[in-house]
Structure 1
Amino acid sequence: MSSPALLPLCLLLLGLAAPVLAEEAPTPAPETPAAPAAVAPALERSQEQQQALMRQLPAEQQKTLQAGDESFLALLMPAARAKAAGTVVLVPGDGESADWPNVVAPVRQQLPTFGWQTISLSLPDPYDPVVAIEQDTAPADTDAQANSEQAAPPVTGGSGTAPAAPTQAEAGSGEPAQAAVAPVDPEAAANAQATRVLARIAAGIDLALQQGASPIVLVGHGTGAYWAARYLAEKEPAEVKQLVLIDAREPQGMPPRLDATMGKTDLQIADLVHAPGAAAQRRKERAAQKANKGYRQIDLPVIPGDRAAEQEQTVRRLRAWLDRLPPAASGSPAAS
């Protein structure tokens, strides 16, 4: 057979063999989908602040305290004297760290020079009543509702009830229907926040007692002043008889009001304010109504453009009030 005749025959044989070779080719195994990576829960902003302080500050200043099932960072600075004049427990305001540059850090760092030991606490993220109310009133998940409405009825037979066929939404997505978000009770959320904060203040006072330097004075800045006053009103610790409020304000949506809380206490109170307003006036009037002779409101100077000088004046006024405290008023066992 001549070569020109062989060429069409070879092409015909190759065409017939191609489908057979394709059928014999091994089918690749389906790829196993990778397991979804575990997602770590998001940290609170206050936890991120604590981690930053742990990297920045000397280890000897750092104390890890326990409050319920939570641990948190406190900063301890011993007095620069052989015998401390007492202990100041600092409660920062909303969004402030234990070494916040406004008021908290100057008080924490400067009072030890004058003989006062300081303990500064880290508080949890502030309670947001707007978020709690929105979650409480939010409708159930719309996708979950749609899937529920489109679900086929169960198939009933002689052997029982068989599961219904998946809906188009369930079959197409490959994902289970999202459960509705559990409603949040704003009052319960506020109570839970109070429990967390007051437990941390209690842990700070316990640390102060372990250090053995009395009197113990609770100093709150901003909303921290509210929490300090509320702690003393509700817990009435025998070891703490002095309270300092610096530019006090109330957390949003958190009852009771600060002046009502202070009305339940009969302590020595220094109320330091840069800009006295209606709230400061209410506190002053409540102290007068309760005949609390230990209450004193102190105006702080506002120095525009010189924050350092303004902070220095705050520390100076606080130190002057602390130095006038009678030793017997500490409420400690040694003084009683």
Structure 2
Amino acid sequence: MRLHSLALLGFCLLSCPAVWAEEPVEDAPADSADAPAASERPLLPERSVSDAQTLEQRLDKREQQMLQASAESFLALWLPANVGEPSGAVILLPGDVENADGAAAVGPLRRKLPDAGWHSLSLTLPDPDGDPLPPRSAASETPAPTDGEATNGEDESVADVAPEQTTTPAATELTAEQRRQAHVERVMARIDAAIAFASQQQARDIVLLGHGSGAYWAARYLSERQPDNVQNLLMVAAELPAGFAPPLDEMVAQLTVATGDFYYKDQATERMAALKRLQASKRAKLPTYIQVSMKALPGNLDVQQEQLYRRLRGWLTLHIRAAGS
């Protein structure tokens, strides 16, 4: 009987800690569902805004011009012609993946054109919204923790970020077509501002020069707005931005300005698109549309840039149309 009582007492002593462990601790934090929601991570600015901020830090302040387009200001890069009597101003529009000092074409051209007697004004264009990508958030820029640093709490904080926290309310309220139209209006307003600035510099002739998708925006602007003081268009490696219409060959047929269409014949897609534009110009009987093929030199970018500059300079010398003519 004594042995039985001792065994029973031992069992009770062993089982008590298990019971105590299952009881809730009064000082434990409240359930995560009752905790305040994690603060939303701020959206990063548009890529074009980030690029502009980098250019502001890197380039001479005398080159920088903050222009006003509707309700927003944007960076443009200005270099005056290196001659006593400038021929005019060339306004450069970069492609979607470029900035106002892009290394592929816009940057070298804006620096070389002043030696040919032309002011250069290179624009920062807003990010494209025709085929929108998810907005960048601070979370997407943060490096992932290493295996030794990750914790359950960190995993939950990432999972708790809802999709709507990575988009702005304005973007969610607009349809895709409305976002495209808003982008068109932003681009057109910036070109308006650039032309107004060039006119203030007493530019005798103003030329729009677009590279990549920038060529599309230059052509569309001239096709729709038809400004009296811009009678010349230069397109380099023209591209149609994703999600936008009409195609470039349709717009080319409607242009009444002197047009130089420069393309790289080595690229099959670019060559076929250039052929469609040429055929459209012939059907429309455009006497001032000139197409120039070039050879791409990806292994020697400096030579390719010099080739492009010389071809453009030749066109500006031989085919410029004075405003009002």
Q: Which residue of 2 aligns with 1:144?
A: none
- Structure 2 distance, partners of 1:286, 1:35, is 58
2:130 touches 2:179 (CA, 8 Å); kept in 1? no
Q: Does 1:59 align with 2:61?
A: yes
- 2:275 match: 281
Which structure 1 residue ranges, 5 or more long, are not aligned?
1-32, 133-177
Q: Secondary structure at the match of 1:129?
A: coil
**Gaps in structure 2 of 5+ consecutive residues:** 1-34, 135-163
**Structure 1 residue aligned with 2:209, among 190, 213, 219?**
219
TM-score by length of 1: 0.71
Tell whether 2:174 aligns with 1:187: no
Q: 2:47 aligned with 1:45, yes or no?
A: yes
User: Where does 1:1-336 land on structure 2 (aligned, <5 Å)?
Assistant: 40-129=42-131, 131=133, 182-275=172-265, 276-326=270-320, 329-331=321-323
Indicate the residue corresponding to 2:22 in structure 1. none
Task: Determine which structure has more spread, i.e. the larger CA radius of gyration.
Answer: 1
SS of corresponding position for 1:238: coil
Name the count of aligned residue pairs. 254
Contact 1:95 1:126 in 2 (8 A): no
Aligned-partner residue type, residue 322 of structure 2: S
Identity of aligned residues (%): 38
DSSP-derived class of the 1:95 partner: coil
CA deviation map 1:236-278 (0-9, x unaligned): 0000010000000100010111111122211110000013522
Cα displacement (A) at 1:80: 0.4
Give the corresponding residue for 2:16.
Answer: none
CA distance in 1, matches of 2:114, 2:317: 13
Distance 1:104 1:307 in 2: 13
Q: Distance in 2 between matches of 1:223 and 1:304?
A: 19
CA RMSD of aligned residues (A): 2.4
Work out whether residues 218 and 242 of structure 1, in 8 Å CA contact, stay in contact via their aligned partners in 2: yes
Q: Counterpart amino acid of 1:286?
A: A
Preserved contact between residue 240 and residue 331 of structure 1 (Cα < 8 Å)? yes
Q: Is the 8 A contact 2:130 2:176 kept in 1?
A: no
Q: Distance in 2 between matches of 1:115 and 1:36?
A: 57
Tell me the distance in 1 between the aligned counterparts of 2:93 and 2:209: 6
State the Cα distance separating 1:124 from its structure 2 match: 0.6
